[in-house]
Amino acid sequence: MSAETEQEEYIPLQNHFSETLRDILENGTVKASQISAATGIPAPHLSEMKAGRRRITPENDLRLSRYLGISPGFFSKLQLDYELERAKRKHISEINSIEPIPLPSID
């Protein structure tokens, strides 16, 4: 992969769910060991998610969301937004060359 391609694909990590998880864990309110014990998510998995080396699964999203009192799907949506942006940047020329078809209106 060329440096140019890597630069095109780079998106700051704050757009990734792991940055939000890192903020939660580093603000001192709750520790990874507490989350792990309460949610059943293994501590090593939390560490890998926090570091951006592990994706969030729907199950872990539900567990974290429940424990933290936030909307289910919150972390998954952050991850999906990040991945869509990466794909768009990587394949923008190909995507833009696709001709859309008109769909009938649903009224």
CB 85 within 8 A of CB 12: no
Tokens of 33: 């060991």
Dihedral sign, CA of 23, 60, 88, 91?
positive
Tokens of 78: 């952050």
Q: Going residue by residue through the chain (107 aa), what tens digit of pLDDT does each one get? A: 444 444 445 555 456 788 888 888 888 888 999 999 999 999 999 999 988 889 899 999 999 999 999 999 999 999 999 888 888 888 999 999 999 999 998 87
Q: Under a CB-based contact definition with an 8 Å cutoff, are residues 60 and 45 in contact?
A: yes
Q: pTM value? A: 0.75
Rounded Cα–Cα distance for residues 92 and 86 (Å): 10
